[in-house]
Amino acid sequence: MARLEQAITSIVDVFSEYASSDCKLNKQELKKMMEKEVQSPELKAKICSGDGDNIPWKLDRNLDRELDFKEFMNGVTTMAKCYYQKKTEIRLHRGLDPHFKACSGFMK
């Protein structure tokens, strides 16, 4: 399987494994998923500490305290953008590129 295809399949499979029968992740399911599926100590410390309150619930657009697949993917996309920014050491002014603006608050 090609790498991009494998990445897409993995994201869908991970979400499906942890999501409840209504295809949403509640606070406990999301916390469990992040604790098990995020291996980087630096990233894990930033998003998995405490009781899950540090998990960015600003992704919950409809304010139901659960993340559906679209809301989950917004978070995955943000993490990927932040990883790309860090990896390539792009230094952009926060006001100039809205794609990377989310990284400042998400990864703190």
What pLDDT does residue 56 have?
Answer: 61
Q: Which residues of the chain have pLDDT under 70?
A: 42-57, 90-108
pLDDT at 95: 47
First to last CA, the chain: 35
Q: Which pLDDT score is estimated for 51?
A: 44
Closest CA to 18 of 97, 76, 61: 76
Question: Closest by alpha carbon to 30, among 61, 75, 67, 74?
Answer: 67
Distance between CA atoms of 55 and 12, rounded to whole angstroms?
Answer: 19
What is the reported pLDDT for 63?
A: 87
Domains and CATH numbers, the chain: 3-107 (1.10.238.10)
* Number of other CB atoms surrounding residue 94 within 10 Å: 11
